[in-house]
Amino acid sequence: MTGFRGAGERIPVAAPDLSGNEERYVVDAIRSSWISSTGPFLDRFERDFSALCATRTAIGVANGTIALHLALLTLGAGPGDQVIVPSLTYIATANAVKYVGAEPVFVDVDPATWCLDPSRVEEAITKRTRGMIAVHLYGHPADMDALGAIASRHDMWIVEDGAEAHGAVYRGRRIGGLGTIGTFSFYGNKIITSGEGGAITLNDPMLERRARQLRGQGVDPGRRYWFPVIGYNFRLTNIAAAILCAQLERFDDIVARRRTVFETYRAALAGIPGIGIQPVAPWAEPAPWLFCVTVDAHRYGRTRDELIARLDESGIETRPFFIPIHLLPPYLHESQARHEHLPVTEELAARGMNLPTHSNLTEADVERISDAVRRGAR
Ligand SMILES: Cc1ncc(COP(=O)(O)O)c(C=O)c1O
């Protein structure tokens, strides 16, 4: 992820759009001396982000990994508990389960959504299962009604990991308030960013009180320097919140620009043999995060990794999909011991890649990238 100045330059896979009031608000925060974790931008960010997600509240935290960690602590997940997670996601989703001493159990994804497959979740539930993390992968919402029905039957909570899906809509409802707690990342490659930053969203006032207390060292809200529980410093700064307030002012504009990039890709890549485009379920309005394609090496004539190398030579940066977490060293043995079988995850991880997606891309850039993909076919 780097700055991008336009035609002729190397095209990065992601780039932030900081062209609004970001600089002005950061200067305001510095001049006001509110640079730590209280200040007017923090309050405004929490109000504006909860409005976007249609939740009772949003709580700013230092990054998206901490948002997941705080969600699990707030829900009381701990040693002996199992938490169902997809394996096709960023490592933070599973690591957060480990941070609280619980065990992530991997379930395959649905080929129609690339998110947790509701038809495979129930068979992974044991007496120790407390909840699941539904990741809205690559901007596409998970099937929350189907997952919610399973959660109700088994008295489980659901954390929605919306790091890659700001503003995605599931059956007419924004993600973030569809499970028990929603989590978000504002890392520099996300739809809106503060460089590093995160948030949790929720509707339950009791969980809100617990989350705010855990975020702020466990202090009693009514009694200074009285710490009834062990808490954490998970706070977001007013400087980061200043950037996020400016990003939220332009949320609709940033999303609209990214949607135009998506539409141009869809049209320009249609009909290239062996190039598949991320499916969209009929009930989903995905967030336009990073445009995803899959490469069928047999039909395209080159593997995904060969295409990545060719695009790189043409000055186009791309990303392969995540390596499934159950195949990574900290998780491999325990996944094997549970006899996990995740064919859809492994297939997608081997074939999938992200093309450059950001609001600075012109139609000509997207045509140039699509053309390079087309010329790569054999
Ligand atoms: C699905 C998912 N969850 C969690 C995270 C972690 O967020 P952060 O990098 O802000 O800690 C990311 C990405 O960064 C992500 O893509």
Please tell me whether residues 44 and 122 are part of one structural domain.
Answer: yes
CATH number of the domain encompassing residue 305: 3.90.1150.10
The preferred substitution site among 115, 164, 192, 234 for testing ligand 1, maximizing ligand atoms within 8 Å of CB, is 164
Residue 311 has a pLDDT of 97
Is the pLDDT at 341 greater than 70? The verdict is: yes
Residues with CB under 6 A from ligand 1: 63-65, 89-90, 92-93, 135, 161, 163-164, 185, 187, 198
**pTM score:** 0.97
The span from the CA of 133 to the CA of 128, in Å, is 15
For residue 4, name the pLDDT band (cuts at 50, 70, 90).
Answer: low
Q: Are strands 284-285 and 103-107 parallel, antiparallel or unpaired?
A: unpaired
Please tell me whether residues 243 and 257 are part of one structural domain.
Answer: no
Atom of ligand 1 nearest to the CA of 164: 16
Atom of ligand 1 nearest to the CA of 137: 1
- Please say whether the beta carbons of 136 and 164 come within 8 A: yes
- pLDDT per residue as tens digits for the range 140-192: 999 999 999 999 999 999 999 999 999 999 999 999 999 999 999 999 999 99
For residue 6, name the pLDDT band (cuts at 50, 70, 90).
Answer: low
Residue 2 has a pLDDT of 47
Mean pLDDT, the chain, integer: 97
Q: How many CA atoms lie within 13 A of 36 on its CB side?
A: 3
**Last-in-domain residue among 249, 273, 307:** 249
Please tell me whether residues 198 and 82 are part of one structural domain.
Answer: yes
pLDDT (average), residues 328-350: 98
Q: Are strands 129-135 and 157-161 parallel, antiparallel or unpaired?
A: parallel
For residue 8, name the pLDDT band (cuts at 50, 70, 90).
Answer: low
Residue at 162 is within a domain: yes
**pLDDT cut 70: percent of the chain above it:** 98
Residue at 152 is within a domain: yes
**pLDDT cut 90: percent of the chain above it:** 97
171: left (phi over 0), alpha (psi -120 to 50) or beta: left
For residue 5, name the pLDDT band (cuts at 50, 70, 90).
Answer: low
The span from the CA of 308 to the CA of 304, in Å, is 6
CA angle, 139 as apex, 345 and 356 as ends, to 5°? 90
Look up the domain containing 199 and give its range.
22-249
The span from the CA of 120 to the CA of 108, in Å, is 7
Domain total in the chain: 2
- Please say whether the beta carbons of 97 and 87 come within 8 A: no
Please tell me whether residues 32 and 137 are part of one structural domain.
Answer: yes
Please tell me whether residues 268 and 367 are part of one structural domain.
Answer: yes
Atom 8 in ligand 1: residue holding the nearest Cα: 64
Please tell me whether residues 230 and 366 are part of one structural domain.
Answer: no
**16 SS3 class:** coil
Query: Angle at which helices 363-376 and 251-269 pack, to 10 degrees?
Result: 30
- pLDDT per residue as tens digits for the range 97-133: 999 999 999 999 999 999 999 999 999 999 999 999 9
Residue at 363 is within a domain: yes
Q: Using CB atoms within 10 Å of the CB of residue 36, give its burial: 0 to 12 exposed, 13 to 18 middle, 19+ buried.
A: exposed
The span from the CA of 239 to the CA of 52, in Å, is 20
- Please say whether the beta carbons of 318 and 308 come within 8 A: yes
The span from the CA of 243 to the CA of 48, in Å, is 13
Please tell me whether residues 77 and 200 are part of one structural domain.
Answer: yes
CATH number of the domain encompassing residue 128: 3.40.640.10
**Nearest alpha-carbon partner for 184 in 376, 368, 48, 320:** 48
Distance between Cα 270 and ligand 1 center (Å): 30
Residue at 339 is within a domain: yes
**Last-in-domain residue among 230, 249, 268:** 249
The span from the CA of 255 to the CA of 263, in Å, is 12
Atom of ligand 1 nearest to the CA of 198: 10
Residue 7 has a pLDDT of 55
The preferred substitution site among 13, 63, 90 for testing ligand 1, maximizing ligand atoms within 8 Å of CB, is 90
